[in-house]
Amino acid sequence: MEEFMLSGDVIEQIKDFKHRRLSDEQSLLIDKLILNEELKKLYKSNGLCKDCKQPNTSRDWCKSCNAKHFQQNFKNWTSRNNEIDKLIQKAQLKAKKYDKILEWIEYDRFENVEYLAKGGFGTIYKAIWKDGYIRKWDFENNKWIRSKAWVENYENFPVVLKCLHNSQDVTVDFLREIELHATIDSSKVTYCFGITKDPESNNFMMVMPYSKDGSLRQRLNNSFNSMKWRGKFDFLQRIANGLKDIHSQGLIHHDIHCGNILNHDDYIRITDLGLCRPANVKSSQDEYKKVYGVLPYVAPEVLRGKEYTQESDIYGFGIIAYEVCTGLPPYHDIAHDKILAISICKGFRPKSNYKIPQLILDIIKQCWDTDPLKRPKAKELYNSFYKLYYYNYSGEIAKQIEEADKINEKFTSTSLPYNGTTLSYTTNP
Give the contacts of 159 (CB within 8 A, at least 6 positions apart).
110, 126, 127, 128, 129, 193, 207, 208, 209, 210
Strands 194-197 and 103-104: parallel
Please list the rounded mean pLDDT of every run of 10 residues in the chain (429 residues).
Answer: 77 91 92 92 94 95 97 97 94 94 97 86 89 96 93 86 75 79 84 92 91 90 91 95 94 90 88 65 50 86 94 97 95 93 96 92 97 97 93 85 89 50 50
**In this structure, are residues 317 and 239 in contact, taking their beta carbons and an 8 Å threshold?**
yes
pTM: 0.86
pLDDT of residue 364: 97
The CATH classification of domain 66-209, taken from the options 3.60.10.10, 1.20.1250.20, 3.30.200.20, 1.10.540.10:
3.30.200.20
Give the contacts of 293 (CB within 8 A, at least 6 positions apart).
254, 255, 257, 275, 302, 316, 427, 428
Q: How far apart are CA 167 and CA 259, in angstroms?
A: 22
Q: Where are the beta strands (DSSP E) in 210-286?
A: 251-252, 261-264, 267-270, 277-278
Single-letter amino acid code for the residue at 140: E
Does the domain formed by 216-408 have CATH 1.10.510.10?
yes
How many CB atoms are located within 10 Å of the residue 232 CB? 22
**In this structure, are residues 392 and 398 in contact, taking their beta carbons and an 8 Å threshold?**
yes
Q: Is the dihedral of CA 245, 250, 255, 256 positive or negative?
A: positive
Give the contacts of 57 (CB within 8 A, at least 6 positions apart).
1, 42, 46, 63, 96, 97
**In this structure, are residues 296 and 331 in contact, taking their beta carbons and an 8 Å threshold?**
yes
Residue 216, classed as helix, strand or coil, is helix
Structural domain boundaries in the chain: 8-56, 66-209, 216-408
pLDDT of residue 183: 80
